[in-house]
């Protein structure tokens, strides 16, 4: 069944539960992962975005990656607000609101029978803008990555704090994508980037933390990083537990001299980094702070989702 046939049968993308279920049933008949869009249901095998869309022409658009635990999305509101801020900065009107997004994501998680999943919200700039919500396999690192740690490559590419895209999660992510591909080619899990002032910034899809003498350190927002949802949850965890934590300006030397380091993101949560550019961080093993913070982060997720 083509998207046209699908949407002729059910032309509205209204988000009542009945509508969602009916649309999803029809999309399922197409035997490909279903996708909700602000223009109707489609599935992943059919082109949805016109070639003239600025997302195709210039990578103009935004995305968010969220994580569902037991069918519920962690901090969906915070993710949505981050996209809203970027859309406002680039004068794009989002074709869905936070409530619609939450409703669609929750129903799609149920429909897809993937309670633990990655939820992707994509919005193209259009015109007119198109929103798409997908529920995808989680694709989180294997448990051995947490017990053994991963290594990172210090990419020669720079974050540009003065660039218009700095701090925004736009569809123009080729630099991040490419840095990660290069890191993988060299046998590393992630690429880390400095900014144009030689300050440590972040990974290509994760924020960076490290620890020195029991103090948790992470690059400040002024270094051109994305304001990660996980990063802010971890800083909350530190404050709640009375752990010393500081956002600041650091160099690659500070990282290499750290006792331990870790990545923080929606998908990896807290993932220890045990080496950078072939040099060991600390004793080359995952550190105790990463282990504790991962555990505490999970507790926070569970208690927030239990509260609803
Ligand atoms: C460049 C960059 N930094 C940091 C993050 C982590 O953000 P979050 O914790 O909101 O997933 C991401 C997430 O994809 C990212 O792309």
pLDDT in tens, 59-89: 999 999 999 999 999 999 999 999 999 999 9
Q: What are phi and psi of 86, to 5 degrees?
A: -65, -40
How many residues can be counted in the chain? 308
CA of 202 to the centre of ligand 1 (A): 9
**Interior angle at CA 130, CA 205 and CA 81, nearest 5:** 50
Instruction: Give the position, in ligand 1's atom list, of the atom nearest the Cα of 226.
Output: 3
Break the chain into its structural domains and give their ranges: 3-137, 143-307
> What pLDDT was estimated at residue 12?
44
CA of 265 to the centre of ligand 1 (A): 5
Q: How confident is the model at residue 279 (pLDDT cuts 50, 70, 90)?
A: very high
Higher pLDDT, 46 or 10: 46
CA dihedral 246, 250, 254, 256 (to 10 degrees): 110
| Residue ranges around ligand 1 (CB below 6 Å) | 65, 169, 176, 202, 204-207, 226, 228-231, 265-266
Nearest to 79 by CA among 271, 270, 265, 291: 265
Cα 190 to Cα 198: distance, rounded to the nearest angstrom: 18
176's CB contacts (< 8 A; 6+ apart) are: 204, 205
Q: What are phi and psi of 260, to 5 degrees?
A: -160, 165
How much is the average pLDDT of 300-305?
Answer: 97
CA of 22 to the centre of ligand 1 (A): 34
Pull the structure tokens for residue 49: 């975005």
Cα 34 to Cα 113: distance, rounded to the nearest angstrom: 12
pLDDT tens-digit series, residues 233-243:
999 999 999 99
> What pLDDT was estimated at residue 21?
66
Cα 271 to Cα 85: distance, rounded to the nearest angstrom: 28
How much is the average pLDDT of 246-259?
Answer: 98
Nearest to 143 by CA among 268, 282, 289, 297: 268
143-307 CATH, one of 3.40.30.10, 3.20.10.10, 3.30.930.10, 3.40.47.10: 3.20.10.10
Please give the C-alpha separations between residue 95 and each of 3, 15, 174, in angstroms, as whole numbers.
19, 13, 24
**Interior angle at CA 232, CA 223 and CA 183, nearest 5:** 55
Please give the C-alpha separations between residue 200 and each of 18, 109, 110, in angstroms, as whole numbers.
49, 37, 40
> What pLDDT was estimated at residue 23?
61
Pull the structure tokens for residue 103: 């409703």
CA of 241 to the centre of ligand 1 (A): 24
Q: Which of 106-110, 149-153, 215-219, 287-291 has the lowest mean pLDDT?
A: 106-110
Q: For the chain, how big is the Rg over CA atoms in Å?
A: 20
How much is the average pLDDT of 137-166?
Answer: 96
128 cis-preceded (ω within 30 degrees of 0): yes
- Just give the CATH number of 3-137: 3.30.470.10
**Mean pLDDT for all residues in the chain:** 92
The DSSP symbol for 222 reads G
> What pLDDT was estimated at residue 208?
98
> What pLDDT was estimated at residue 209?
98
Q: Of all protein residues, whose CA lies closest to atom 4 belonging to ligand 1?
A: 206
The 3-state secondary structure of 144-162 reads HHHHHCEEEEEEEEEECCC
């Amino acid at each position: 069944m083509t998207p046209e046939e699908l949407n002729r049968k059910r032309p509205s993308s209204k988000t009542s539960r009945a509508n969602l279920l009916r649309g999803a049933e029809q999309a399922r008949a197409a035997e490909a992962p279903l996708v909700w869009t602000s223009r109707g249901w489609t599935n992943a095998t059919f082109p949805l975005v016109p070639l003239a869309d600025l997302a195709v022409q210039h990578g103009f658009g935004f995305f968010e990656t969220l994580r569902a635990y037991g069918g519920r999305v962690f901090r969906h509101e915070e993710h949505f607000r981050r996209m809203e801020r970027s859309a406002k900065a680039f004068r794009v009107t989002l074709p869905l609101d936070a409530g619609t997004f939450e409703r669609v994501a929750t129903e799609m998680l149920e429909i897809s029978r993937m309670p633990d999943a990655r939820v992707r919200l994509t919005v193209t700039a259009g015109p007119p803008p198109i929103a798409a919500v997908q529920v995808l396999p989680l694709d989180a690192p294997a448990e051995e990555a947490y017990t053994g740690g991963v290594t990172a490559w210090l990419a020669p590419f720079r974050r540009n704090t003065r660039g218009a895209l700095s701090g925004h999660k736009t569809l123009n992510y080729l630099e991040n994508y490419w840095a990660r591909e290069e890191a993988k080619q060299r046998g590393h899990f992630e690429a880390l980037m400095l900014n144009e002032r030689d300050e440590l910034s972040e990974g290509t899809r994760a924020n960076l933390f490290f620890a020195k003498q029991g103090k948790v350190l992470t690059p400040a927002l002024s270094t051109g990083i994305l304001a990660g949802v996980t990063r802010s949850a971890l800083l909350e965890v530190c404050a709640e537990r009375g752990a010393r934590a500081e956002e600041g300006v650091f160099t690659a030397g500070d990282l290499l001299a750290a006792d331990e380091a870790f990545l923080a993101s929606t998908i990896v949560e807290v993932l220890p980094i045990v080496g950078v550019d072939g040099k060991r961080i600390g004793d080359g093993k995952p550190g105790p702070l990463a282990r504790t913070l991962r555990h505490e982060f999970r507790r926070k997720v569970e208690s927030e989702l239990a509260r609803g």
